Amino acid sequence: MNFEFSLNNGKVKKVPPNKIRASSLFVSSVHAIETAKKIQLDIKTSKTILRELYEGLREYCEAIGYLKGYKFLDHESIGFFLRDVLEEHSIYKKFDRYRKLRNGINYYGNDIAIETVEEAINDIPELVDRLERIKSNF
């Protein structure tokens, strides 16, 4: 699948660019990531931390979508947007990895290794920084 498929099948909607909604999502994204980083990491908090980190990354990506005139109706389409529209293949791969980890936690009750969450604590703010630089180009 790809972004065009998502667009043609109603998983992404073309909308007027919305800087106000994007701005709100950018702020919410940063807050989610900052909050997740303040939580002491242990076996009981690892799932919550990963969920919040992913949520922050997802919101940041959605905000960029609103700047470009897209509304995403599923998370997979956000990944296709990163890969196919923004042409950020490495960001797409990491986003998709964290999306799958989060889905495993939320929908299948999967556990997550502390080391994976530690990696996310470093990776996700870095991904947002990279997206911030991309965002400034439009």
Predicted pLDDT at 137: 79
Asked whether the CA dihedral 52, 63, 31, 136 is positive or negative, the reply is: positive
Say which residues have a Cβ less than 8 Å from residue 25's Cβ, sequence separation at least 6. 59, 60, 62, 63, 66
What Rg value do the Cα atoms of the chain yield, rounded? 15
What is the reported pTM? 0.97
Does residue 136 surpass a pLDDT of 80? Answer: yes
Q: Tell me: the pLDDT tens digits for 64-103?
A: 999 999 999 999 999 999 999 999 999 999 999 999 999 9
Q: What's the Cα-to-Cα distance from 42 to each of 39, 56, 84, 114, 126, rounded to whole Å?
A: 9, 20, 36, 7, 22
Domain with residue 101: its CATH number is 1.20.120.330
Q: What does the pLDDT average to over 115-133?
A: 98
Distance CA 61, CA 70 (A): 11
Q: Tell me: the pLDDT tens digits for 45-57?
A: 999 999 999 999 9
Distance CA 132, CA 3 (A): 21
Mean residue pLDDT across the chain? 97
> Into how many domains does the chain fold?
1
Q: Which domain holds residue 27?
A: 3-135
